[in-house]
Amino acid sequence: MDQHRLGLPADFEFGVATASYQIEGAVHEDGRGPSIWDTFSHTPGRTANGDTGDEACDHYHRYAEDVALMADLGVDSYRLSLAWPRVQPDGKGPAEPRGLAFYDRLVDALLERGVQPAVTLYHWDLPQPLEDAGGWRVRDTAERFADYVGIAHEALGDRVGRWITVNEPFCSSILGYATGRHAPGSREGEGALAAAHHLLLGHGLAAQRIRDASERAQVGITLNLQPVSAVSDCPQDREAADRALLLSNLLFTDPVLAGRYPPLARSTWGPVTDFAWLTDGDLAIAGAPIDFLGVNYYFPSRVRAAPFREADPALRTADDLGYEDVVGSDEERTAMGWPVDADGLRRLLRWLHDTYPQLPPVYITENGRACDDVVAANGHVHDPDRMRYLENHLRAVADATAEGVDVRGYYCWSLLDNFEWAEGYAKRFGIVYVDYETQQRIPKSSFEWYQRVIGDHHRAVS
Ligand code: IFM
């Protein structure tokens, strides 16, 4: 019986996602160079509990066990990321064959078990030498990124068909260079906007590099986006919502999907930057057609106007755009404190579809929630809140497809509990529990639920 079918299209793909620094560990092995997250997490006070990715889930050594879990789960695809400093320890120059050999083994192991790899090329672990030379603030980093992507594609392109250039440039730029919450932990105004631009330029240059080498590669970018609404119809709240939309979505979706910067960018950030980092031709590169858009969705943004606080340029690119997010006191929240709103995913997909006539097919490249999971006396980890969250979000995807949005697949975040960046290991997103003392993997009840969903879907459509 297809009781878990959920109304998704017949050829819909199911997957799980992870990222290199969050799971691999082995940070000093096989010639890997340091990344900005090594530096940041080893700086006192930057991460909860001083946690680092030094060991993480030890996936570097346990990848075969993790691939077996995925095969058992029945996923069609696994979204992994490559650590740039493993492939090119200095961020430029020669490749490190031992780093590439690891990804070679991983890709082969996946294919042997019938799981298609989808490779993210940048999930935040910038080689530290490149940050020392200016990081994403400078154009050269975008060019170095394209070179590294050329190396990665040459090594794996014969077996990897789906490539995601950059993951969540909002986080790498705004959290990395404006709020300072993520590596490299800087608080700047212009630098953060330049970083956002160079990440998108890097995406475009990398996509070109892959296309030049292969006609059949599917190339896209992953953006973390939110449906944005005002809490009231009053002009102040509506204008506040426009500014929120600018920062969380349009700064990224307009260049990539329409080859332009939104007009509000100039008026909002004119006091912070003269846009000298935007060179003729950049938008044609960043906005060149892509094969798919990756969308990461966690929660919506509901906004009301708030006073502008300061003229501090860093604030002006981050948390002082004259608005604040409102979450009802009775709303369900995840262990991250994020409100739960599954229909927000349908609204977001509709917004993309209605706003961008050239919207390519979409993959939900991340969705999931953190829960306060515990191992019960019987050894099980029961996580009904996560099961409900995943089911409702998958239903929202089905609703969006029924409304005409071309969504091709869904990757649950995450396969494993892992290093949740500034939150360290305290926040658990996995459908597999990781005991960090022993590195034992314990599939949670959500794993079994997802396994049934995937199995029922495959049976129903075969
Ligand atoms: O863990 C992160 C991931 O690396 C990027 N997207 C959001 C997830 C949950 O915060």
- Burial class from Cβ neighbours inside 10 Å (0-12, 13-18, 19+) for residue 146 reads buried
Residue located via tokens 């953060």: 192
**200: which 2 tokens?**
């998108």
Give the pLDDT of residue 312.
66
230 sits in which H/E element: strand 228-230
From 41, 223, 429, mutation site for ligand 1 pocket: most ligand atoms within 8 A of C-beta:
429
Report how far ligand 1's centroid is from the alpha carbon of 99 (Å). 24
CB atoms inside a 10 Å sphere around CB 344: 22
Protein residue with least CA distance to atom 10, ligand 1 = 420
Task: Compute CA 461 distance to the chain's CA centroid, rounded to the nearest angstrom.
Answer: 29
Give the pLDDT of residue 4.
64
Give the pLDDT of residue 156.
98
Question: Is the separation of the CB atoms in 43 and 36 below 8 Å?
Answer: no
Q: What is the DSSP letter of 50?
A: G
**Maximal C-alpha separation, the chain:** 63
Question: Is the separation of the CB atoms in 192 and 314 below 8 Å?
Answer: yes
Question: Is the separation of the CB atoms in 250 and 243 below 8 Å?
Answer: no
Question: Is the separation of the CB atoms in 227 and 206 below 8 Å?
Answer: no
Report how far ligand 1's centroid is from the alpha carbon of 436 (Å). 19
> Which residue type does 48 have?
A
Report how far ligand 1's centroid is from the alpha carbon of 3 (Å). 30
Selection from 29, 23, 6 nearest residue 78 by Cα: 23
Q: Is the pTM of this model over 0.75?
A: yes
| DSSP E strands, 64-215 | 77-81, 116-122, 162-167
Three-class SS state of 305: strand
**327: which 2 tokens?**
């979450």
Q: How far is CA 270 from CA 118, 172, 236, 274, in A?
A: 38, 22, 21, 6
Range 8-38 burial, b when 16+ CB lie within 10 A, else e? bbeebbbbbbbbbbbbbbbbeeeebbbbbbb
Q: Per DSSP, what are the bridge partners of residue 162?
A: 118, 218
Give the pLDDT of residue 315.
66
Q: Which residues are catalytic?
A: 168, 366
Protein residue with least CA distance to atom 9, ligand 1 = 420
Residue located via tokens 């939900």: 364
Distance CA 383, CA 385 (A): 6
The pairing of strands 77-81 and 432-435 is unpaired
Selection from 31, 30, 47 nearest residue 39 by Cα: 47
Counting from 1 in the atom list of ligand 1, the atom nearest the Cα of 336 is 10
Counting from 1 in the atom list of ligand 1, the atom nearest the Cα of 19 is 4
Question: Is the separation of the CB atoms in 63 and 105 below 8 Å?
Answer: yes
Protein residue with least CA distance to atom 1, ligand 1 = 420
Selection from 395, 436, 435, 429 nearest residue 415 by Cα: 429
Selection from 199, 88, 195 nearest residue 134 by Cα: 195
Give the pLDDT of residue 462.
87
Report how far ligand 1's centroid is from the alpha carbon of 271 (Å). 31
Give the pLDDT of residue 396.
98
Counting from 1 in the atom list of ligand 1, the atom nearest the Cα of 413 is 8
Counting from 1 in the atom list of ligand 1, the atom nearest the Cα of 429 is 9
Report how far ligand 1's centroid is from the alpha carbon of 356 (Å). 25
Give the pLDDT of residue 321.
87
Which residues contact ligand 1 via a Cβ below 6 A?
19, 22, 168, 296, 366, 413, 420, 429
Counting from 1 in the atom list of ligand 1, the atom nearest the Cα of 167 is 5
Question: Is the separation of the CB atoms in 4 and 452 below 8 Å?
Answer: yes
Question: Is the separation of the CB atoms in 415 and 22 below 8 Å?
Answer: no
Q: How far is CA 362 from CA 66, 119, 141, 245, in A?
A: 26, 16, 27, 20
Protein residue with least CA distance to atom 5, ligand 1 = 168
Distance CA 6, CA 211 (A): 35
Report how far ligand 1's centroid is from the alpha carbon of 179 (Å). 17
Distance CA 260, CA 438 (A): 50
From 366, 371, 417, mutation site for ligand 1 pocket: most ligand atoms within 8 A of C-beta:
366
Selection from 210, 202, 205, 247 nearest residue 226 by Cα: 247
Q: How far is CA 223 from CA 199, 220, 410, in A?
A: 11, 10, 14
Range 210-228 burial, b when 16+ CB lie within 10 A, else e? bbeebeebbbbbbbbbbbb
Selection from 265, 241, 242, 253 nearest residue 316 by Cα: 265
Which ranges of the chain have pLDDT less than 50?
A: 1-2
Report how far ligand 1's centroid is from the alpha carbon of 420 (Å). 7
Provide Rg for the chain, Cα atoms.
21
